[in-house]
Amino acid sequence: MDFHVHLDNSTIDKVLELSRERGIKFGIVEHAGTKENQYPVVLSNESELDGYLKMLDGKPVFKGVQAEWTDWMRCFSPRMLARLDYVLTDAMTFPGKDGKRVRLWDKDVEQRVDMADKQKWMDRYVEWHLDILRKQPIDILANTSWLPAPLANDYETFWTAGRVKKVVETAVANKVALEISSSFKLPRLSFLKIAKAAGAKFSLGSNGRYPNMGKLDYALEMAATLKLMCADMFTPAPDGQKAVQRRKY
């Protein structure tokens, strides 16, 4: 199963052809949150989410959203959110010097976020992860352990065992699964070993846009190396136990 599939530049029917060809079930995640988030499609209100859910109705896919920023859950009623199979988010949008959201992958990131002391910034980034895991009713943390360009070449230096433990223990405590991302080839094995030892659940994701959904090579390789079994894997929670139903927010 690939729980991180985007419909950008394609249609559900074309994506379903690939699902059949590749023998992989897809979880579709449209972006969801306020219109301040900039993506090809951002579901921002009750009727847009309803239309999306209806479009996927009866199709052999899981229905998810990729939640954006910290206020996405206020755009929808709890009843509407409970119609989703799961909610996924990541930590890649971060508060800038002015408090506004900054996409950490943007080229001007160092003008907008103070990263002069990289170790200090990394501590803030870990806190940001904990904040998301504690406050948002999410089922999956996607793109786990992704680092912005100024830090990305020193993965092991910044993702120390202590920092990894904080993130994975908070994920386990809040029943949030950690995505193994095939597109980013992350997390690395050092991170994943600590996560497995802490009892984390994992989901596999391509973050794929057409025609790259279902390409899970890196995630499957890590799953084999770690000897992950069914019990280690995320599956959408039954009605009543989804994060949006079980968590206070």
Contacting residues for 216 by C-beta, under 8 A, at least 6 apart: 2, 24, 182, 204, 205, 206
Question: By rule CB under 5 A, what count of residues binds Zn ion?
Answer: 2
Residue length, the chain? 249
Phi, psi of 151 (to 5 degrees): -115, -15
Distance CA 83, CA 187 (A): 30
CA 234 to mean position of chain CA atoms = 12
Task: Give the position of tokens 């969801």.
Answer: 32
Which part of the chain contacts Zn ion (CB under 5 A), choosing from 42-50, 54-62, 202-210, 235-243? 202-210
CB 68 within 8 A of CB 32: yes
**Residue 144 binding Zn ion, by CB under 5 A:** no
Which part of the chain contacts Zn ion (CB under 5 A), choosing from 51-59, 73-81, 189-197, 206-214? 206-214
Q: Which is nearer to Zn ion, 121 or 202 (CB)?
A: 202
**Least distance in Å: CB of 42 to Zn ion?**
12
Task: State which of positions 46-85 bind Zn ion (CB under 5 A).
Answer: 66
**Least distance in Å: CB of 211 to Zn ion?**
16
Q: Which is nearer to Zn ion, 8 or 156 (CB)?
A: 8
Q: Which is nearer to Zn ion, 203 or 207 (CB)?
A: 207
**Least distance in Å: CB of 110 to Zn ion?**
23
Strand ranges (E), 90-168: 93-95, 101-103, 140-141
Task: Give the position of tokens 């530049």.
Answer: 9
Task: State which of positions 207-236 bind Zn ion (CB under 5 A).
Answer: 207
> What is the binding site for Zn ion (CB under 5 A)?
66, 207
